[in-house]
Amino acid sequence: MTVVRKTERLLNLLIMLLVQRHFVSKDRIRAILYPGSSTDAFEKMFERDKEELRSLGVPIEVGQIDPFFEDEPGYRIRPDEFALPEINLEADEAAVIGLATKVWEHARLAEATTEAVRKLKALGVAVDVSALDIVQPRLTADEPSFDVFWEATQERVPVEFDYVRSGQHTVSTRHLQPWGVVRYSGRWYVVGYDTDRQDERVFRLSRVQGEARKAGEPASYDVPAGTDVRSVAKRLAPAPSTERVVLLVRTDAGHALRRNADEVETGVSGPDERTGWDRLVLTRGGLGMVDELLGYGADVYVVEPAKVQQAVVDRLSAAVGSGS
Amino acid sequence: MSPAVPTQLGAKDQVARLLTLVPFLHARGEVRLDEAAAALDVPADQLVKDLKVLLMCGLPGGYPGDLIDVDLDALEGPEADGVIRVSNADYLARPLRLNPTEATAIIVALRALRNGAKDETREIVDRALAKLEAAAAEGTAAPRIDPGDAGADADLALLAAKLQDAADRRHQVLLSYYVPSRDEESERRVDPRGIVTAHGFAYLDAWCHSAEAPRLFRLDRIDRAEVLDDPIETEPEAPRDLGDGLFTTATDTTPATIRLDPAARWVIEYYPVEAVRPQPDGSLEVDLLIAEERWLTRLLMRLAPHARVVAPPAYAEAFRESVQETLSLYV
């Protein structure tokens, strides 16, 4: 069977079921689309064709043609369930949807996003791609177990996996009903109900050893109503390595710091009277922060954390000593 | 399509392409083959193969009038005008719904763009999300997949689109621009010429009325851009090609020599240097051309205590003063 013949058959089956208002009987389908095939061959091909259409997302419905004779199944595709509803997008909305195709740095999800955008284009939406070169993909998902947890979350299938806890070396096998997947401080976590511990748990995907395995049937559990996966992850995951930084900054200096500040209080008293001072509160990760603050020279005074202030003083004192 | 692809996979993919192609054509009337190929990201010859399959499909019954009609003469042969014309396929006028994976992937991608973006970008993403969520297949797990913050690229891309549009329409723009080497924020009125990219950064090329010269503005340093009603005042010009020579040697520079400890060696990878002389103790002596004393002082402060000035003495003095002044805030 060539690709072309099979494409024709699949598409003709789809059209046949789509344009009928009532269920179409198996006999009629066989007579028109599978002529000359044996009963066995027909059953096999028809099963496979239905599965392939369904895997594309075509909703094939099975029902009784005659409610009084239950032995005669029929098939149909309801146009309202088949087709993408009308979506009217403004130009700026279409632009951000174009950007979405550049977000995933994960082959399968990048392709799924592109396919979704193709379907929107097929609705007549003009998706603007002029600014796409500027966007670098940012959303990585390198963890080998990511795909399994993503699918399991979607299908509500329990997952079994081997896990090493932070700071330990022993591997243990865990059983989880995944509720959701969360990216937090640049890492992916899965949140769910641990059926061994009988409690909610969060696991870092990069600590999963080897392959995670689906262990159960789709829709085999419910996610508790109102579950907010991010807040569960925040509650259970170890705190990220960011800290509260308080700075005094001279009036009209430190613009890059001001842009990322959580709070700015103007006109506070500072370490000298040469200029006015403002107080900035920022949330920052530790790496490179001392370098950056030193770059501002005498325009920035570190109030806290104490160890950052100490690092600034130590490095400046060392610079004096080295003959700067 | 590679011959190694199994038949089933090939047929399924082809059906998926046709279920998008037919409504795409339906929504637009007549479309040129090359335009459709570009918009759907499918090679033109593959599109023609797909269209030929379509000829054999249609309503059950098999009468000629039941089949989908494709004007192949318009695509191949001496009469071809390269326009795709498909008729008799109204029942395929709408694309297939997004399947759960597609819906989840695009919704999560949009939420990643939203997180960490500016308010005006968020508002646009929210509108797009509301429309998509309403149209997505049931059973999407998108609410339970949370991408966190994927960076602020959406702001940049939308800013680029806005500035390019202003350049196309020849309107002036008022920029609020941040200059890190001076830690200054300034207002500039510019005549935009276009967006260019080089070294992984995007720039607005524009005539700057404050500098009375053409200038490149890095998009991530533009805090605000207001498109004005005023038309541009200089001759419209295409943006520069930044293939190379973006940072040509400024005329007004001073040669300087600095000493870098091993911890500061990375500097020579990041900034143009004239000469590098490894020293017996593992440090490097590096010659640089300095356009601005303040830039050098900032760099040395960041590196403290792993860098110092060898020459000229004036730069060494400026750095020493900055260290003393900063230290005096604390002691």
Higher pLDDT, A138 or A212: A212
Partner residue facing B144 (CB), from A19, A84, A153: A153
**Cα angle, residue B141 at apex, residues B139 and B144 outer, rounded to 5°:** 145
Tell whether B78 and B115 lie within a shared domain. no
**Distance from the A64 Cα atom to the nearest Cα atom in chain B, whole angstroms:** 21
Structure tokens at A190: 């899965």
- The residue among B302, B301, B267 whose CA lies nearest residue B283 is B267
- Domain range A3-82, CATH architecture: Orthogonal Bundle (1.10)
Partner residue facing B97 (CB), from A57, A113, A136: A57
pLDDT over 90 (residue B313): yes
Q: Do B12 and A8 touch (CB under 8 A)?
A: no
In a domain, B14, yes or no: yes
Q: Which amino acid is at A163?
A: Y
Structure tokens at A69: 């004779």
pLDDT of residue B248: 43
Question: How many residues are recorded in chain B?
Answer: 331
Q: Do A130 and B94 touch (CB under 8 A)?
A: no
In a domain, B249, yes or no: no
pLDDT of residue A287: 52
pLDDT over 90 (residue B128): yes
pLDDT band of A111, cuts 50, 70, 90: confident
Q: Which residues of B touch A19 (CB under 8 A)?
A: 59, 91
* Residue A72 CB-half CA count within 13 A: 11
- The residue among B301, B185, B317 whose CA lies nearest residue A293 is B301
Beta strands A139-140 and A104-105, pairing class: parallel
pLDDT of residue A141: 81
Cα first-last separation, chain B? 72
- pLDDT of A264-288, one tens digit each? 999 999 999 999 999 999 987 655 6
CA dihedral sign, ordered B301, A280, A234, B155 = negative
**Distance from the A19 Cα atom to the nearest Cα atom in chain B, whole angstroms:** 7
Tell whether B11 and B78 lie within a shared domain. yes
Three-state SS letters, A218-245? CCCCCCCCCCCHHHHHHHHCCCCCEEEE
> Could you give the angle at which helices B7-28 and A39-55 cross, rounded to 10 degrees?
50
A92 touches chain B (CB under 8 A): yes
Tell whether B46 and B122 lie within a shared domain. no
Q: Which residues of B touch A150 (CB under 8 A)?
A: 104, 145
Partner residue facing B150 (CB), from A33, A139, A182: A139
Tell whether B276 and B325 lie within a shared domain. yes
- pLDDT of A298-312, one tens digit each? 999 999 889 899 999
Contact B318, B326 (CB under 8 A): no
Q: Containing domain of residue B71, as a range?
A: 7-92
Q: Where are the alpha helices (DSSP H) in A107-228?
A: 107-122, 146-155
Domain ranges of chain A: 3-82, 91-137, 146-236, 242-321
Tell whether B41 and B86 lie within a shared domain. yes
Q: Residue B47: enclosing H or E segment and its boundaries?
A: helix B44-54
Q: Do A316 and B326 touch (CB under 8 A)?
A: yes
Partner residue facing B59 (CB), from A19, A84, A230: A19
pLDDT over 70 (residue B241): no
- The residue among B267, B117, B316 whose CA lies nearest residue A324 is B316
pLDDT band of B160, cuts 50, 70, 90: confident
Strand order in the sheet with A61-64: A24-25, A73-76, A61-64
pLDDT of residue B138: 62
- The residue among A161, A102, A167, A168 whose CA lies nearest residue A136 is A102
Domains held by chain B: number = 4
Structure tokens at B325: 């002044």
Strand order in the sheet with A263-268: A263-268, A277-285, A242-250, A300-304
- pLDDT of B243-280, one tens digit each? 444 444 445 678 899 999 887 877 775 566 788 898 99
Q: Which of A107-111, A127-131, A141-145, A261-265 has the lowest mean pLDDT?
A: A127-131
Q: Which residues of B touch A159 (CB under 8 A)?
A: none
Question: Looking at domain A146-236, which of 1.25.40, 3.30.310, 2.30.30, 2.60.120 is its CATH number?
Answer: 2.30.30
Say which CATH number the domain at B226 has: 2.30.30
**Cα angle, residue B31 at apex, residues B29 and B34 outer, rounded to 5°:** 170
Taking a contact as any Cβ pair under 8 Å apart, which residues of chain A between 237 and 276 contact chain B? 253-256, 259, 271-272
Global pTM value:
0.67
Q: Do B24 and A271 touch (CB under 8 A)?
A: no
Taking a contact as any Cβ pair under 8 Å apart, which residues of chain B between 21 and 60 contact chain A? 21, 23-24, 27-28, 39-41, 49, 52-54, 56-60
Beta strands A73-76 and A24-25, pairing class: antiparallel
Q: Which residues of A touch B12 (CB under 8 A)?
A: 10, 52, 55-56
